[in-house]
Amino acid sequence: MNEYQNRTFQAVNVSVPRLESMEKATGRAKYTDDLRLPNMAYAALVRSPYSRARVLSIDTSEAEKIPGYLGCLLPEEVPGEYFNCSGNPPSPLLMRDELVLTREPKVLGDRIACVAAETEEMARAAANAVRIEYEVLTPYLDIRSALSESAEPLQPHVSSNDNMIQRREVSQGDRAVGEAESDIIVEDHFSTPPMQHVTIELTSCLCDFSDGVHLTVYSTSQTVFQERRLVAEILGVKESNVHFSKPVVGGGFGARQQLHAQHVAALMSKKLGRPVNLSYNREEDLYSVVRHASEVDLRIGASQDGKLRLFDTIYRLNGGPYTTHTPTVVAAAARKLQYKVPNYFFEGLSVYTDHITGGAFRGYGNTQLTFGREILMDRLAQSLDMDPVEFRLLNQVQEGECFPCASIPVSSNNIASCARRCREIQAEIDAKYPLINNEDIRQAWGAAFSCHGSGPSSKEGLSSAVVMLNDDATVQLLVGSSDIGQGSETMESQITAECLGIPLSDVRITAADTKITPYDTGTFGSSQTFICGNAVTRACGDLKKKVLAQLRTIRPESRVEEQGQGYLLDGHPLSFREAAREVMFDAKGGVMIGSGTYKAEACPNPFSVCFVKAEYHKKFNAIRLLDIIQVVDVGTPINRMTVAGQLEGGIAQGVGYALYERLEINPRSRRTLSSDLLHYRIPQMGDMPRTHVDMVDSYDPYGPIGAKSVGELATVPVAPAIVNAVRRACGQEINGLPLCDQFVILPSSWKEARNET
Amino acid sequence: MIKQELVEIMILLNGAERRFYVEPNETLLHVLRERAGLTGAKKGCDMGECGACTVILNGRAVNSCCVFAVQADRGVVETIEGLGTPDQPHPLQQAFMDAGAVQCGFCTPGMIMAAKALLDRVPRPSQEEIRQALSGNLCRCTGYQKIEQAVTLAAEAIAGYSREERERL
């Protein structure tokens, strides 16, 4: 298992520019909406302007007069079976309650009809000209109103009496014992807002189902194989006739871990007999899917010695009107407590509402629970008069121990070094810019810990890889997992280069094309390094074994052994490169193809420590972020540059989440207030504080070359760390986000207040 | 929707004279992507809020989704496609790659064009000037740190160039 431990690496644990960066930097990379097919038509969706309504009539006569109008799809013309659009593998948790087109919109932007025309502008004009008469119903926008006695069930076929999608309880120990053993119990209610992914690329698909038999889909996809399965089911065709090919994707963060409108575009393509492009505008993208808003009750108890005794939470997620991911998001949150607590009680509620549909978002349930948890841990440390970092370290689950209610022990954990390294960086910053505490300004540090998994916590991750050897010892690598901007293609290529002992430039990767590449569960759950990476190491191992067997066939008189990344031939080293030449063209040669499959056997936890330095301006109740430090244990970082990029990007998303991001629906008009990027602000360059990121030495025995995950981990601790810094600077308690509700937010590059020279 | 007369415009596009017949209300972005086949400028919002469509018009970085094509008539337009190739990249393109400033890449062409307009004007920009110049370009992947570094790196590289080399950029 530890073939790679304590070894000097050549292609991993180094900083490598992305293989595709020059294609992107020269504008050559083709994203979905850059593709044009001959005779392509454009489709636009007719969406509900109300959060809950009933369609009384649809009149398309005015739309038909728009020049370039080609056709329309109404709810009656499309398959009427319920489905779940989530890009997770099939699971009983994923209730089916969504329709391709609906006459009973349950959320703003629900799909009612689809119109096609010769150009995108004409399609939009025609969609706007469709006249729909509605009976407007009272929507249940928040969890409280959706769960009230008088609320009508939104999905009676799933939940006939109320709007509870599912209730999940996970517990160990005894609540009464936990209470009795605790000298201090802190408790509070925490709320987090719905956050939108805001991938800079808009959701888009291009579907060609012209012949009604073979469907080709190019789309912004994280989960091509799941999307293929869902579309095949909805359309009633064989998976082998559905081809999902992923172009370059401009960000995912979970938003593309589901079907969007590929089914409608495919049906429109069939109707017209032409390829169809269906692309969202920014407003449509903003209300398509969000990170679940949460309402969390939390109690944490500790004894006087600082040991945790009780963790008790009711965790409620606002799911919107369709199940999609909600129960799996709740399930993912249930077993991610990284502290030792003998009495642990988790009650997770998935709730139907008429707010924007909650889906997958980087952090997947972990973000919302960690938020309140790390704030309460800070308050508890103060009550115990303990250092907040030491308090957390004291309770941290160590290697070989299990998280509460988890069954697999932690396989690697170097969070203590993360904390140490954070402190070093903190000391350097404070030496340069000493903490200010005067009449006007008070600065303070805050900290938070977090963990995540590597791959889906349900261990449903499954991936495969094929390595084909060329006669010049270069290789073609095929993997099913999607690079959506996070850099997985480069990383899988690095793992291949490391395993085979060849230069990175000798690896050519093809990824995420259902016609060419082998199956992969999908790009979600921080899977790519761990799940797909393990499939790649196995494929490389298989290839090397096959080359070895071939060498032995070719040279029956010699003693041939494997050694490191190459071979020994009668005691003389033979590199993999030299061996490759021999095995193919020899009279007894053959074609060398290695393959490997990995079904998750583990889900190692990466760990993070995040420190934030913030300041509070007493006169005008304003806050400003100065520095954010994040140091992580991700096992072996395959590509240090990519890991650093994930950390910095995760910090930026955490800054937006903490400070001002919230997808808002106006309670009066029940329309979205967050209709564009001026009304839904994400951090700009000048908003960002100085960021400092690092990785500590670590090696996970289950990881490919010791690697764990990083993508989701990077954003989880940021918001609570910011809140902890702010609460220490201002002395006010904070129970919810975004902080712009409570404070004036000053941009980090705000010059006047800068104390440095 | 009223059928409109097409207007003939001429643009010096990446160094070549190009003629287009455009609708009076057609955006420059639309002409670049749909008529000139240059898809490097991206559509991220179509309302001037994300900067992914940034090109340089007469020396200034503009959101091409907020400029009518007719406004660019007889103008000079530079897009990412005119900047460099994978074999002969512009120092900004090289720096974006080397610094790890490219992740999903969707904002990258716009970022680079905004940075180019800045470096054309201010060869050695301060951190504040970089932040100011790129404030209209949103990125959701990188956290901006490496983008800022890339612009500084490119400015340093260009400073080391000879005058002839600089003129060729």
Both structure tokens of A679: 């009304």
Q: Is the peptide bond before A738 cis (omega within 30 degrees of 0)?
A: yes
B151 to chain A, any CB pair closer than 8 A? The answer is no
Nearest CA in chain B to A486: B103
Give the nearest partner residue to A648 out of B46, B107, B145, using CB atoms: B145
> At which residue do the structure tokens 């689809």 appear?
A114
B63 touches chain A (CB under 8 A): no
**The two three-digit tokens of residue A687, written as one number:** 């908003």
Verify whether the Cβ–Cβ distance B105 to A485 is below 8 Å. Answer: yes
Closest to A320 in 3D by CA, of A522, A103, A86: A86
Give the SS3 label for residue A272: helix
Beta carbons of B43 and A202 less than 8 Å apart = yes
Query: How many residue pairs from chains A and B have C-beta atoms closer than 8 A?
Result: 187
Q: How far apart are CA A47 and CA A421, in angstroms?
A: 51
Which residue in chain A is spatially nearest to B2 when comparing CA positions?
Answer: A67
Closest-CA distance, A122 to chain B, in angstroms, reads 8
CB atoms A17 and B97 under 8 Å: yes
User: Which pLDDT value is given to residue A757?
Assistant: 36
Q: Which of B145, B146, B151, B152 to mutate to test the interface with A (most CBs of A within 10 A)?
A: B145
Q: Which residue of A has its CA nearest to B41?
A: A27
What is the total residue count of chain A? Answer: 757
The chain B residue lying nearest A27, using CA atoms, is B40
- Give the model's pLDDT for residue A751: 59
Contact present, A198 and A282 (Cβ < 8 Å): no
Contact B144 A27 (CB under 8 A): no
Contact residues on chain A for B31, CB-CB shorter than 8 A: none
Give which of A179, A187, A460, A171 is closest to A337, Cα–Cα.
A171
Backbone φ/ψ region at A522: left (φ over 0), alpha (ψ -120 to 50), beta: left
Question: Could you give the C-alpha distances from A590 to A472, A507, A565, in angstroms and in order?
Answer: 14, 20, 20
For testing contact with chain A, the best of B35, B102, B104, B151 (most A CBs within 10 A)? B104
pLDDT of residue A756: 46
Q: Which helix (H) or strand (E) covers residue B148, if one does?
A: helix B145-159
Averaged pLDDT, B5-9: 95
**Mutation site for B-interface testing, chosen from A18, A20, A24 by largest number of B Cβ within 10 Å:** A24
Count other C-beta atoms under 10 Å from residue B12's C-beta.
Answer: 15
Pairwise CB contact (< 8 Å): A29 & B105: yes
Task: Report chain A residues whose CB lies below 8 A from the CB of B141.
Answer: 251, 485-486, 645, 649
For residue A692, give how far its alpha carbon lies from the nearest alpha carbon of chain B (Å): 10
Q: Which residues of chain A have pLDDT under 50?
A: 1, 752-757
Q: Strand runs (DSSP E) across A358-440, as ranges?
A: none
Chain A residue numbers touching B136 (CB-CB < 8 A): 684
Residue A551: how many other CB atoms lie within 10 Å: 20
What's the whole-number average pLDDT of chain B? 96
Nearest chain B residue (CA) to A25: B93
**Contact (CB<8Å) B146/A648:** yes
Supply the pLDDT for residue A754: 46
Q: What is the pLDDT of residues B125-167, one digit of tens each?
A: 999 999 999 999 999 999 999 999 999 999 999 999 998 888 8
Contact A645, A693 (CB under 8 A): no
The reply to whether residue A487 touches residue B103, judged by beta carbons under 8 angstroms, is yes
- Find the CB nearest B86 among A23, A644, A650: A23
**For residue A125, what are its two tokens?**
């004009």
The answer, yes or no, to whether residue B88 has pLDDT greater than 70, is yes
Minimal C-alpha gap between A483 and chain B (Å) = 9
Q: Residue A750's pLDDT is what?
A: 62
Q: Under an 8 A CB cutoff, do A686 and B52 touch?
A: no
Q: How far apart are CA A101 and CA A234, in angstroms?
A: 12
Token pair 């649809």 in the structure block, residue:
A58
Q: How far apart are CA A684 and CA A200, in angstroms?
A: 13
Q: Given this model, what pLDDT does residue A566 score?
A: 86
The answer to whether the CB atoms of B106 and A751 lie below 8 A apart is: no
Return the pLDDT at A667. Answer: 72
Q: In degrees rounded to 5, what are phi and psi of residue B105?
A: 85, -5
φ/ψ (deg, to 5) at B88: -130, 70
Give the gap in angstroms from C-alpha B126 to the nearest C-alpha of chain A.
13
| Contact (CB<8Å) B40/A26 | yes
Which residue of A lies nearest to B147 if distances are taken between CA atoms?
Answer: A685
ipTM: 0.98
Separate counts of helices (H) and strands (E) for chain B:
6, 5
The B residues from 84 to 143 touching A (CB cutoff 8 Å) are: 84-86, 89, 92-93, 96-98, 100, 102-109, 112, 128, 130-132, 134-143
Which residue of B lies nearest to A693 if distances are taken between CA atoms?
A: B145
Cβ of A199 within 8 Å of Cβ of B106? The answer is yes
Q: pTM surpassing 0.80? A: yes
Say if the Cβ atoms of A684 and B138 lie within 8 Å: yes
- Chain A, nearest residue to B128 by Cα: A749
Question: In this complex, do B139 and A15 lie within 8 Å of one another by their Cβ atoms?
Answer: no
- Report how far apart, in Å, the C-alpha atoms of A567 and of each of A11, A78, A231, A616 are: 19, 59, 47, 63
Is residue A234 within 8 A of residue A701, CB to CB? The reply is no
Count of C-beta atoms within a 10 Å radius of residue A741: 12
Let me know: does A337 contact A344? Beta carbons within 8 Å: yes
Answer whether B100 sits within 8 Å of A249, measured CB to CB.
no
* Predicted confidence (pLDDT) at residue B1 exceeds the cutoff of 60: no
Rounded CA-CA distance A300/A371 in Å is 13
- DSSP secondary structure letter of residue B27: B
